[in-house]
Amino acid sequence: MSKERLHADLSALGQEHLLAFWESLGGDERRSLIAQIERIDFAMISRLHAERERRSDALELLSRAEPPPAIRLDGLTAAEKIAARRRGDEAIRAGRVGAVLVAGGQGTRLGFDRPKGMYPIGPLSGKTLFQLHVEKLVAAARRHGARIPLYLMTSPATHEATSEFFAEHERFGLPAEDLLIFCQGTMPAVDAESGRILLEDRGRIALGPDGHGGMSAALLAGGALDDMRRRGIEHLFYFQVDNPLVEICSPEMIGHHLAADSELTTQVVAKQDPLERVGNVVLVDGRLRVIEYSDLPDEAARRRNPDGALRFWAGSIAVHVIAAELLRRTADSAEALPFHVARKAVPHVDHISGRRIEPDAPNAVKFERFIFDFMPQARNAIVVEVDRRRAFAPLKNASGAEQDTPEMVREQMAALYRDWLRRAGAEVGEKATVEISPLFALDAEELADKLPPDTRIVEPTYFRSDCGPHRR
């Protein structure tokens, strides 16, 4: 396409500034810029920008919202828990379960210059989030004598570094045929006021990943849905890269999912505070939904049942079991998932002065799809409550922030391991730093089987692989 024609087309859309540096670009850069421009759905961007102030329909939903059908922590007998676990174990053993890890986010709040999965988080081992996740998966597969494929979603921001990291470390023990890395799509960042698409560089459009909700379309495009069909995978355990406590492929959760004939089962924690900043899982017209904390008015958040418990108690932690059938059914319409608007500070090149701008306040809007917008399409969706101390420690922020910092995550990991050790009969110092490799024990029960009697821990101790405790 000629420059004149492109300029005319872009002018009609109010986006001709994308060519502001055309004269200074080389041939390859020009071709690349044209290719980037051709991939943009300008009509959609313009509509999304025009609707950026639109209030969500949360208030309307709220008028019909009820607490969701839930398996509560204290609502089951030991026998029921064992039955659920057996059922989940069977499905894993039969090779019907896979895992999907979404790791395409830019991790801006953490301020780490590589993909978040490469962050060293092990309190003593310094293992990265990726390594811990994969070792859990490898240990779960070993325990069940099964193959559990990992579908790993990256984005253009994380793809190369992630792929190289996995190759360099021989996939941390995961067989090559059990790892499929696929890349999600992108959306341009737009100047909040004018709606102009931002230039990251003179010949490069500012693109960001299209949100974890981009997973469905990317699973299809990346061949993962076909792979699942070929292998007979019927359910996917979905988790996010930032939570090292997640019990990957939890048999109990999978068991509840199967017993309820659910197409989407989601883990929640009981909110500690009515205004806690987590999504609220609710039931509207018989369908599960998430109402974001920012959309839930304080008055509604504070509502209580006659027994004093919070009415909207279920806080989402973004761990799901999703039926492959639901993914297949919705893959074609994945494009129909709504976009959410996020205001962000996006560095860019000013198209008039050519100067690089590093804003310290939000200047732009970004558009992202969220995974939980699938929920209303799922049949028989249920929630399963977990204990946050044992299941949820997201790494979101850099050291010094009020919550979700590396120090806090490490301490929560050590606290969990101390708890496992005590339950296994060990004597453990109040604040002892301990770490248990997933390859040594995946849970408190396995630890109890392996721990020598009269174990006493007073100094930092790392239980790695099968060789027992190592003092540090």
Residues that bind ligand UTP (CB under 6 A): 102-109, 116, 153, 155, 184, 209-212, 214, 240-242, 368, 396
Cα gap 96→75, rounded to integer Å: 27
CB count within 10 Å of CB 368 equals 17
Residue 185 Cβ vs ligand UTP, minimum distance, rounded to whole Å: 9
Which residue number is nearest to ligand UTP in terms of Cβ? Answer: 105
CB count within 10 Å of CB 299 equals 8
Residue 348 Cβ vs ligand UTP, minimum distance, rounded to whole Å: 17
Coil, helix or strand for 232?
Answer: coil
**Closer residue to ligand UTP, CB minimum distance, 192 or 317:** 317
**Closer residue to ligand UTP, CB minimum distance, 152 or 457:** 152
**Closer residue to ligand UTP, CB minimum distance, 108 or 194:** 108
- Residue 250: what are its φ and ψ, rounded to 5°? -55, 115
DSSP state of 54: P
Residue 92 Cβ vs ligand UTP, minimum distance, rounded to whole Å: 23
Length of the chain, in residues = 472
DSSP 337-379: SPPEEEEE---EE-TTT--EE--SS--EEEEE--GGGGGGGST
Residue 130 Cβ vs ligand UTP, minimum distance, rounded to whole Å: 11
- The first and second tokens of residue 358, run together, are 């590093």
Residue 154 Cβ vs ligand UTP, minimum distance, rounded to whole Å: 8
**Closer residue to ligand UTP, CB minimum distance, 196 or 212:** 212
151 to 117, 156, 311: CA distances (angstroms): 14, 16, 36
CA dihedral (210, 180, 90, 83) in degrees, to 10, reads -30
Residue 243 Cβ vs ligand UTP, minimum distance, rounded to whole Å: 8
**Closer residue to ligand UTP, CB minimum distance, 241 or 442:** 241
**Closer residue to ligand UTP, CB minimum distance, 95 or 213:** 213
CB count within 10 Å of CB 175 equals 11
Residue 187 Cβ vs ligand UTP, minimum distance, rounded to whole Å: 9
- Residue 372: what are its φ and ψ, rounded to 5°? -70, -10
Look up residue 21 and give its amino acid.
F
**Closer residue to ligand UTP, CB minimum distance, 9 or 292:** 292
**Closer residue to ligand UTP, CB minimum distance, 211 or 255:** 211
- Beta partners for 435? 462
| Sequence-distant (≥ 6) Cβ neighbours of residue 66 within 8 angstroms | 282, 283, 284
Residue 112 Cβ vs ligand UTP, minimum distance, rounded to whole Å: 10
Q: For the chain, what is the radius of gyration of the CA atoms?
A: 24
